[in-house]
Structures are given as C-alpha cells and as structure tokens.
C-alpha cells in the first residue's frame, strides 16, 4: 500500500486557519437542538448514537436504527491529521492507536487493524501514515465474497460476518489497501476474550480460518465514545464523525468535516482506484507536534498477551 505519491508537499496552514472549529451552538444546530439549555451532555454521545440493534449471526443492521436525529442515515467517517502524527516518537512508545485497537479488540498477533506505516517524502525524510480499513463506498471486497460474508451496512461501514466466512481469502486479494487479516491457527488471545458473546458488528473472539479487520468500532458508537484508536492517540490526530451531519471530533475539538477537509487539502489513499474510502487524511509529517521529518523509525508493535496464552499458534502475516 502506498500513499498518493503524486501529491505535492503542502505548505503549513496559518495558525488562525488551523484553529477554526465549529462552535457549540453550531453543533447543536446540526443536531436540530434549538437552545443551549436543551443540549445533550456530554456532546459526544449525541454524535455517536445507537447504530445497530443487537443481533447475532447473519442478521443485518436495521436502517431505522442507523438514522441521525435529522431522520437521515448516518455516514460514519474518520479523518487522520498527519500533521499531528509522529508515530508516537514523542512519547517513546509503539504507535498508541495500534496498541489501543489491539487491546480493545483482543486482536491476535500479527494483526494490526490500524497499522502505522512510514513512507518517504519527496524531498527527503519520512511521514507516518496510520491505515485502518478504509471502509470504501465502492468496495472491491464485497463484490468478490462468494458467500456474502463481507457486506456494507446502511451507513456505509464494511463488516465481516464470522458465521458466514469460509476462509477463502478472496476478499483479501481484492483489497487494494492490504487491510484484511487471516487467522491461520488457534488465535493467540486472552482467555477472557474466548468468553465474549459474538456479535456481527464485533469480531471477538477471533476464530481460526476466518478473515478479520477494522470494524470502525460500531459497538463503541452505540455507547457514545470514540474508537479505541482515536482514544489511544496521544496527539489527538484521529477524528471520528458523521458525514451526514458534517461533524467530527477527536475527543477534544469538534470540526465541520467538509470545511476541515477543504481548508487542509484532505485526500484519500489511492484515490485513482475509485474505491471512495470513508477514511480521509490531512497532509503532514508530525510538524504540528514538533517532529523533524528526518527523524526516522518507530518502536515495534506489541501484543501484550501473546506469551501468556497456552496452546495458541503464532504465524507470520
């Protein structure tokens, strides 16, 4: 996987432009709340309201449960601001977005559902690019699955039904972003994870012979909190929100999605393929948090429980 190599370096935005946010009154207006006295507190649970009805197995999400307060269907999105991503060099740790995802989903080694790649810049130096499943709106993976195990929800999130997946791995071959993973053996996960109740919007516990990937944390959207990766990022580089309401948050700031992307030259990975990802990027190399692009390398990813699980298999991706 590569970033858009034809993208020219973008000059750093003026501080006044970078700091423009959507005011609280503007957010309330987006949600159809007339006065501050009626504002739901905190704001985040109102943004990430219930998406799916509880279900099991092949049951598909109910479109009525995915509607925003405006009555329109949610369109979940993620924005990764690379100006604030330094590969966690500043905290001297492995990428914390990956660590949060691994611990939150009990992802088995060597799976990195959001993987931080280091790519060279045109003029020298490098940038770090966190890459989850892109949740494409023209997804090659759903078009090739012979049993319909991977599918798009009404609001555009791409999920995998573990009860249907036959492990053919055709979807993995079709994904141009290489963001799908296969369980080649008995997954090395904590014993507690094996007791988890399986739901179609989650992939815990991991199963041998099935494909797994980032699920955009629909269960966390129901609870009204940010995904594990966004919570784990120490620099608040990851925004999560709704294109339909044109709002996103990193847990600290709230922005207008359309304005934020336009003002900061937002782009998608491999745009020329026409897959229409729901994950957007703001160009940068960690300069907003003081990173020198000449400083290369990051600490390796760690799976905290792998060595403690008896009888688990290990494999290379």
pLDDT of residue 2: 43
* pLDDT attached to residue 312: 72
Contact predicate 293/125, CB 8 Å: yes
- Residues 28-48, mean pLDDT to the nearest whole number: 38
116 vs 60: which has the higher pLDDT = 116
The pLDDT value recorded for residue 179 is: 98
Share of the chain above pLDDT 90, in %: 59
| 285 and 125 Cβ atoms separated by less than 8 Å | yes
Map the chain to HEC letters: CCCCCCCCCCCCCCHHHHCCCCCHHHHHHHCCCCCHHHCCCCHHHHHCCCCCCCCCCCCCCCHHHHECCCCCECCEEEEEEHHHCCCCCCCCCCCHHHHHHHHHHCCCCCCCCCEEEEEECCCCCEEEEEECCCCCCCCHHHHHCCCCCEEECCCCCEEECCCCCCCCCHHHHHCCCCCCEECCCCCCCCHHHHCCCCCCCCCCCCCCCCEECCCCCHHHHHHCCCCHHHHHCCCCCEEEEECCCCEEECCCCEECHHHHHHHCCCECCCHHHCCCCCEEEECCCCHHHCCCCCCCCCCCCCCCCHHHCCCCCCCCC
pLDDT at 4 over 70: no
Q: What is the mean pLDDT of the segment spanning 40-63?
A: 42
pLDDT tens by residue, 185-236: 888 888 778 788 888 888 888 899 999 999 999 778 767 899 999 999 999 9
Task: Tell me: pLDDT of 85 over 80.
Answer: yes
CB 155 within 8 A of CB 76: yes
Q: Three-state SS string across 81-134, please?
A: EHHHCCCCCCCCCCCHHHHHHHHHHCCCCCCCCCEEEEEECCCCCEEEEEECCC
- Least confident range of 29-33, 175-179, 222-226, 303-307: 29-33
Angle, vertex CA 313, rays to CA 310 and CA 315, nearest 5: 145
pTM of the model: 0.80
pLDDT tens string 254-286: 999 999 999 999 999 999 999 999 999 999 999
C-beta separation of 235 from 85 below 8 A: yes
Instruction: Give me the mean pLDDT over the 54-77 stretch.
Output: 62
Contacts of 175 (CB under 8 A, 6+ apart): 140, 141
At residue 59, the pLDDT reads 52
Per-residue pLDDT of 102-126, as tens digits, reads: 999 989 889 999 999 999 999 999 9
């Amino acid at each position: 996987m590569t970033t858009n190599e034809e993208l020219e370096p973008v000059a750093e935005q003026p501080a006044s432009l970078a700091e423009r946010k959507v005011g609280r009154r503007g957010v309330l207006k987006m949600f159809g709340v007339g006065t501050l006295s009626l504002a739901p507190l905190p704001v985040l649970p109102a943004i990430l309201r219930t998406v799916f009805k509880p279900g099991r197995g092949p049951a598909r999400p109910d479109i009525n449960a995915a509607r925003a307060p405006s009555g329109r269907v949610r369109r979940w999105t993620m924005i990764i601001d690379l100006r604030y991503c330094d590969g966690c060099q500043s905290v001297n740790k492995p990428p914390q977005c990956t660590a949060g995802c691994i611990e939150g989903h009990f992802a088995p080694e060597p799976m990195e559902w959001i993987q931080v790649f280091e790519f060279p810049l045109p003029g020298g130096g490098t940038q770090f690019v966190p890459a989850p499943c892109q949740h494409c709106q023209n997804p090659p993976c759903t078009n090739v699955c012979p049993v319909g195990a991977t599918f798009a929800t009404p609001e555009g999130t791409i999920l995998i039904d573990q009860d249907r997946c036959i492990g053919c791995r055709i979807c993995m071959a079709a994904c141009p972003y290489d963001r799908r993973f296969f369980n080649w053996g008995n997954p090395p996960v904590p014993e507690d994870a094996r007791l988890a109740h399986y739901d179609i919007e989650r992939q815990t516990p991991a199963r041998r012979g099935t494909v797994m990937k980032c699920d955009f944390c629909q269960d966390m959207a129901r609870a009204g909190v940010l995904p594990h990766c966004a919570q784990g990022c120490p620099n608040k580089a990851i925004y999560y929100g709704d294109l339909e309401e044109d709002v996103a948050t990193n847990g600290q700031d709230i922005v207008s999605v359309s304005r934020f992307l336009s003002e900061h030259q937002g782009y998608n990975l491999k745009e020329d393929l026409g897959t229409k990802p729901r994950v957007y990027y703001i160009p940068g190399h960690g300069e907003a948090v003081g990173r020198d692009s000449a400083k290369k390398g990051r600490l390796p990813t760690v799976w905290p429980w792998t060595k403690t699980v008896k009888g688990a298999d290990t494999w290379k991706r």
